[in-house]
Amino acid sequence: MSDSPLLQRLSANLESVRSRIESAAARSGRVSAAVQLVAVTKYAPWPAVLGLIALGHRVFGENRPQQLTERAALVLAETPQSPVDWHLIGQLQRNKVRAVLPSAALIHSIDSWRLLERVDQLAAELALTSQVLLQVNISGEDSKGGFSPDELKTCLTQAAALKHVDIRGLMTMAPLTEEEAVVRGVFRGLRELRDNAATSAMPLAELSMGMSGDFEIAIEEGATLVRVGSALFDGCETLS
């Protein structure tokens, strides 16, 4: 399998994304080890997921809870010697929380107080602590989910009482635009919001921002988690 066209392509893509992460980190005086690459597999064919695992990658993101749970179980069955972390990056409905909690190492997409409360309640029932990020709508676009900056402050105050969620940081999505200044402004806005909201009890160390089209800008603005799909799986659809 080591010479398969699929693995060759994946390996080249991975190397290219990693070197772009390194350059962006270096440009902004950061160490690339401070940036975790989340391989977003929502459109990736299953052999490509296994291929990336074979290449040593261990952190994956899915935007649909059901596909996350299914793929987490499959990976566990097929490669039990290579445990991977699955991150939920897409919208989570309250009735899907129970099913996804045991498989989700990190939920990036907590977008309301009601959802956070629900996660806390079910995590308590399952005797675990859920690792979560709060999604913030920095750009203010109607089409984007997430807390407004004001709602975020309220939520963080109330969240001090929750015992089964560990709020590790914030997540945002940039608007779809070619204007780099707009994208950069959104990422910088998330970092500044975090800097203002962080406390010693809740340092909010993680910033999940940046996708295939804008992860370098996000890293320059402080991203600790970049969610990259198409740049990793480009060209893999027809290979095996």
Binding site for ligand PLP (CB under 6 A): 40, 42, 63, 89-90, 211-213, 227-231
CB of 106 to ligand PLP, least distance (A): 13
CB of 87 to ligand PLP, least distance (A): 10
Q: Which is nearer to ligand PLP, 63 or 131 (CB)?
A: 63
CB of 148 to ligand PLP, least distance (A): 18
Tokens of 172: 């945002």
Helix (H) or strand (E) holding 86: strand 85-88
Residue with tokens 């977008």: 111
Q: Which is nearer to ligand PLP, 175 or 213 (CB)?
A: 213
Q: Which of 73, 13, 6 is nearest to 39 (CA)?
A: 13
Q: Which of 220, 157, 225, 156 is nearest to 186 (CA)?
A: 220
For residue 51, what are the CA distances in angstroms to 16, 35, 54?
A: 16, 22, 5
Quote helix, strand, coil % in the chain, to nearest 5. 45, 15, 35
Q: Which is nearer to ligand PLP, 30 or 227 (CB)?
A: 227
Q: Which is nearer to ligand PLP, 151 or 234 (CB)?
A: 234
CB of 132 to ligand PLP, least distance (A): 15
